[in-house]
Every structure is written in structure tokens, then in C-alpha cells.
């Protein structure tokens, strides 16, 4: 087989479909975000970023940056290996205590990313619990899907956010051990799960409840514990999974739960045992960010105000966007080529960076711009974005929203 020719043919097919991924070369500047430097063909120009998941700007918060710098000076740049061999540092343990407290749980466990924490936890639960079946919301993230697949446990899909369908399917499973996996905020449509109803169904059937809060931690609840905290339900959920790489502005993933549940995953999950631990400086910075957001509602309030401002401005301009309760604003284009073209024009002509979201991240025909306003976007930034989108809507003959 001519491997190189095969690779090239497949890449050309992606390009022809409009689904080939092109990444902008960006240089975030501490203290200036959401402005960043865009590098292309030897030229550098300032752009405004509208699609970053550092939702609250904590990646450049002076306290978080200072904590990481001090920790690097004190402890070096790396962990030196797995915790299984190199041991814990006091900073890993301190961060895990902060995370357990954030969600009102007995214990937490760190992983290198939110993807890995989902993959490792779900694969371990499904593989190690005899005769287990995992019931997964049909729109769950790829990391959850991969974890379930790797576990080789039986899987049942239930209709997105449909707790009645979940109830029917849990009843059909019978007396087998059951794990229900779902998200709080779904990142592409921005919709929020009916968590109370899902938890009540899980409790009625004796199922273990597993919620992914990666797009909600830091963002919702009085202390940033996510939608489960905001709705007073965290104590009724068996396992809460989250990330340090979005609203907390650092990197890493984690799970929280009872001591026995977390220790079980720590003891059996290959995704924890056999991979290098997070650097101590990352743990220190993350703990600093969490402590700050536990006490401060300033960033969350600013972010929500800007979400409301942008939605209102889009409505006035007739730019259609999916209505939801979250901080994520999806603007549907519905065509991969137009979606890529719009993003290219926004970057080249308007100094606006929004990455196109195409298949397989979203179904074909639902290609979109995924806009995430933050507290550091100015009123002028919002006005400039809406002016640019309105111009492109006319230029590309896209449908306007009906008033």
C-alpha cells in the first residue's frame, strides 16, 4: 500500500468537503486578552478572540500567574513522572482537597486533562464493575464516548436531555449495575441538562450518576461549583467530573466523589497510573484560581453581562443564534464551506478570530460559529463583532432571524 498517497487522498477529501481543519497561529499576551497577536506569512497583527474557553480570563489573572511563576522558581517545571512512581507532591494533594471542597465531595483525583479524566473514569467503571451497562446521553462529548467504548461494557443511548427516555431505558435494563453519564452544559448547542429530573430517575433505579461539568465549573454556582451547585444538586450526584483548562484558566482534569469511588478509580485507571503527573506549578496555579473564584463573583457577573449584551445586539441585527441558558452562543451557518469562508474573512478583514465548528464536531448541516463572550470583552468589541457579522450576512446571502 502507498501509505503517503492514501493519507494525501483522505486529506484532499476533507478539503473538498470544507471540513479540513486550519488553525490560526495566535500569541496570547498576558494582560491584553481577549486581544492576541495573529502570525501569518511573516506578518503580525492584533485580533480579538471570540472563541476561547478561558471563559473568565483566569489564565492571565495576576494572582494565578504569580502563583505559577513562584512555584516554578521553588519547585521546577515538571513532576518528574507518574505519581505512582514519583509520589504525590503537597501541591497535588492541596489541589485535590480544593476540588473536593468545591463540589462538596469527600475526595478528588487529578488527571492530565478533562478528556483523560472522562476517558479513564468511565472506562474503569465500565470495565471493572461486573455486568455493568452505561447509559449515555446521545450528545455526550467524544471523551465520554471513547471511555465507554474502551470499557467494553454494554452501552445504551438515551435521547438528548430526555429524562423520560432515560427512565424507560433504565427500566428495560433491569437489575444490572447501571451508570448514567451526561453533561451539565453541552458545548456546541449551549443547552443545559435537566439535572434534577435525571438525578431523580437515577435514584429511582439505583443507578450511579456521572456528570461532566467541564463547561460549567467556575462559571455557575455561588462558588463556581457548576450547574449542580447552582441548582443545589451536587450532593445527590455520585461522580462530578471537571476541567482546570477552561474557566479556571490552567490545564488538567479531575473527578470528585466518595473516598471509596475515587480511590477505586485511582487504583484501577490506567489513564491515571501510567501517565506523568501535572507539574506542581500547574497544581499551585489551579488551586489559586479555584480559591479566587470560590470567593469572587465579579468575573462571573461580568461574563454574564456581556453574554446578555451580545445576544441582544445579535437580535437587533437579525443574526440568528441558538437560544439557551448558558454562556455559549452558537450562530448556525449550515454549510462547511461558507462557515470556513466567513471565519477567514472575519480574521483577514475585521481582525476577529472565531474558529469554524464543522463535522464531525457537529452534525453535517449544522456548521456554526461558536461564540464565547468573556468579562474582558469591551462594548466596542461587541459592537465591532456584530457589525462584521451583519456585513457578512448580507455578503453571503444568509438568512436573517425573523423578528
Q: How far apart are CA 228 and CA 37, in angstroms?
A: 37
Q: Is the model's pLDDT at 399 over the cut of 80? A: no
| CB-neighbour burial class of residue 301 (10 A; exposed 0-12, middle 13-18, buried 19+) | exposed
What length is written for the chain? 403
Q: What is the mean pLDDT of residues 143-166?
A: 98
Identify the pLDDT of residue 310: 98
Q: Which three cell numbers stand for residue 248?
A: 479556571
Identify the pLDDT of residue 17: 85
Identify the pLDDT of residue 18: 82
Identify the pLDDT of residue 398: 66
Identify the pLDDT of residue 395: 81
For all residues of the chain together, what is the average pLDDT? Answer: 95
Instruction: Report the predicted TM-score, pTM, of the whole model to 2 decimal places.
Output: 0.95
Q: Is the model's pLDDT at 335 over the cut of 80? A: yes
Spell out the SS3 assignment of 85-101.
HHCCCHHHHHHHHHHHH
Task: Categorise residue 266: left if φ over 0, alpha if ψ from -120 to 50, beta otherwise.
Answer: alpha
Identify the pLDDT of residue 21: 87
Handedness of CA 85, 87, 92, 93 (dihedral sign): positive
Q: Is the model's pLDDT at 221 over the cut of 60? A: yes
Q: Is the model's pLDDT at 401 over the cut of 60? A: no
Residues carrying an active site annotation: 246
Please list the helix, strand and coil fractions of the chain in percent, rounded to the nearest 5, in that order. Answer: 45, 15, 35
Q: Is the model's pLDDT at 403 over the cut of 60? A: no
Identify the pLDDT of residue 179: 98
- Going by C-beta distance under 8 Å and a sequence separation of 6 or more, which residues neighbour residue 388? 346, 349, 350, 352
Higher-pLDDT residue of 143, 396: 143
DSSP state of 399: P
What digits encode the pLDDT tens for the residues 230-260? Answer: 999 999 999 999 999 999 999 999 999 999 9
Higher-pLDDT residue of 22, 138: 138
386 — pLDDT class (breaks 50, 70, 90): very high
Identify the pLDDT of residue 361: 87
What digits encode the pLDDT tens for the residues 262-297? Answer: 999 999 999 999 999 999 999 999 999 999 999 999
Identify the pLDDT of residue 397: 67
What digits encode the pLDDT tens for the residues 347-377? Answer: 999 999 999 898 888 998 999 999 999 999 9
What digits encode the pLDDT tens for the residues 38-65? Answer: 999 999 999 999 999 999 999 999 999 9
Q: Which three cell numbers stand for residue 160?
A: 438528548
Q: What is the mean pLDDT of residues 89-115?
A: 98
Amino acid at each position: 500500500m502507498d501509505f503517503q498517497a492514501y493519507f494525501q487522498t483522505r486529506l484532499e477529501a476533507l478539503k473538498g468537503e470544507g471540513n479540513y481543519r486550519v488553525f490560526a497561529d495566535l500569541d496570547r499576551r498576558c494582560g491584553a486578552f481577549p486581544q492576541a497577536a495573529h502570525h501569518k506569512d511573516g506578518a503580525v497583527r492584533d485580533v480579538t478572540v471570540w472563541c476561547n474557553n478561558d471563559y473568565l480570563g483566569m489564565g492571565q489573572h495576576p494572582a494565578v500567574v504569580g502563583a505559577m511563576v513562584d512555584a516554578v522558581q521553588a519547585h521546577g517545571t515538571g513532576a518528574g513522572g507518574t505519581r505512582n512512581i514519583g509520589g504525590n507532591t503537597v501541591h497535588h494533594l492541596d489541589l485535590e482537597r480544593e476540588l473536593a471542597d468545591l463540589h462538596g465531595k469527600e475526595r478528588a483525583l487529578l488527571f492530565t486533562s478533562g478528556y483523560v479524566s472522562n476517558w479513564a473514569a468511565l472506562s474503569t467503571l465500565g470495565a471493572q464493575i461486573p455486568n455493568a451497562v452505561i447509559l449515555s446521553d446521545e450528545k455526550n462529548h467524544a471523551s465520554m464516548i471513547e471511555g465507554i467504548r474502551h470499557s467494553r461494557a454494554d452501552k445504551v443511548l438515551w435521547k438528548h436531555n430526555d429524562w423520560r427516555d432515560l427512565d424507560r431505558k433504565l427500566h428495560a435494563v433491569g437489575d444490572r449495575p447501571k451508570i448514567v453519564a451526561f453533561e451539565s452544559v453541552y458545548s456546541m448547542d449551549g443547552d443545559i441538562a435537566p439535572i434534577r429530573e435525571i438525578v431523580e430517575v437515577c435514584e429511582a433505579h439505583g443507578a450511579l450518576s456521572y456528570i461532566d461539568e467541564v463547561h460549567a465549573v467556575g462559571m455557575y454556582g455561588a462558588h463556581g461549583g457548576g450547574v449542580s451547585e447552582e441548582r443545589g444538586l451536587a450532593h445527590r450526584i455520585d461522580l462530578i467530573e471537571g476541567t482546570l483548562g477552561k474557566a479556571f484558566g490552567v490545564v488538567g482534569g479531575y473527578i470528585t466523589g466518595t473516598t471509596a469511588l475515587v480511590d477505586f478509580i485511582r487504583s484501577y485507571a490506567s489513564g491515571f497510573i501510567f501517565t506523568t503527573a501535572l507539574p506542581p506549578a500547574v497544581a499551585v496555579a489551579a488551586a489559586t484560581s479555584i480559591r479566587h473564584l470560590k470567593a469572587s463573583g465579579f468575573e462571573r457577573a461580568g461574563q454574564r453581562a456581556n453574554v446578555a449584551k451580545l445576544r441582544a445586539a445579535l437580535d437587533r441585527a437579525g443574526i440568528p443564534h441558538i437560544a439557551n441558558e448558558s454562556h455559549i452562543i452558537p450562530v448556525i451557518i449550515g454549510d462547511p464551506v461558507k462557515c470556513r469562508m466567513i471565519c477567514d474573512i472575519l480574521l483577514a478583514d475585521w481582525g476577529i478570530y472565531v474558529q469554524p465548528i464543522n463535522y464531525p464536531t457537529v452534525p453535517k448541516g449544522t456548521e456554526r460559529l461558536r461564540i464565547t463572550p468573556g468579562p474582558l470583552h469591551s462594548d466596542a468589541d461587541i459592537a465591532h463583532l456584530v457589525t462584521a457579522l451583519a456585513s457578512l450576512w448580507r455578503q453571503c446571502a444568509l438568512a436573517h432571524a425573523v423578528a
